[in-house]
Amino acid sequence: MLVIYGVAILAGCFLVGSIVGEFIGALMGVDSNVGGVGIAMLLLIIIVDKLIKAGKISKPSLDGLSFWNQMYIPVVIAMAASQNVLGALTGGPLAILAGIGVVVISWACVPLLSGKKHSESTFHEAIVRGETDA
């Protein structure tokens, strides 16, 4: 078994997801890939899970997946470095205030929607409650 098998499985899932995403986009009449990445992720999770349980995938192949998994943060940094930050800062007060406003309000809604009971550590729950009380 080769490293490339793992990379090929990843790439295959990516392409299938992208095709399905474009198809959903076309059905919705939107000229963009709707959820293609999400679909590719679900596909990869299911396929890798099945292969591992069937013992049909070897360590080198998993390393091929693991490499790209760990390349994620460097890719994100390159992405940050190629954002239009100047555009964000020179968009005028309306753009800046609307951008800040939407983020702060959305942050406030996260605990409301995710529900505290799913929190894994009671320590964090205590902190959240403390903040709300204050």
Partner 1 sequence: MLDLIKNVFVNNGLITAFVVVGLTMWLAYFISDKFTKGRIHGSAIAIVIGLVLAYFGGVATGGTKGIADVSFLAGMGFLGGSMLRDFAIVATSFGANFDEIKKAGFKGVISLFIGVVLSFIVGVIFAFVFGYRDAVSITTIGAGTVTYIVGPVTGAALNASSEVIAISIAAGLVKAVLVMVGTPFIARFIGLNNPTSAMVYGGLMGTTSGVTGGLAATDPKLVPYGAVTATFYTGLGCLLCPTILFLITDIFL
> Tokens standing for 109?
């809604």
55 vs 92, beta carbon nearer partner 1: 92
54 vs 80, beta carbon nearer partner 1: 80
> Tokens standing for 90?
């020179």
Site for partner 1 in 56-115 (CB under 8 A): 62, 65-66, 68-69, 71-103, 105-111, 113-115
DSSP 31: S
Site for partner 1 in 20-49 (CB under 8 A): 21, 24-25, 28-38, 40-42, 44-46, 48-49
Whole-number Å distance between alpha carbons of 53 and 120: 27
Whole-number Å distance between alpha carbons of 90 and 114: 35
CB of 54 to partner 1, least distance (A): 16
CB of 75 to partner 1, least distance (A): 4
Interaction between residue 2 and partner 1 (CB under 8 A): no
CB of 57 to partner 1, least distance (A): 11
CB of 69 to partner 1, least distance (A): 4
> Tokens standing for 75?
């890719």
CB of 130 to partner 1, least distance (A): 10
Pick from 58, 60, 52, 61: nearest CA to 9: 61
Whole-number Å distance between alpha carbons of 101 and 120: 29
Whole-number Å distance between alpha carbons of 112 and 106: 10
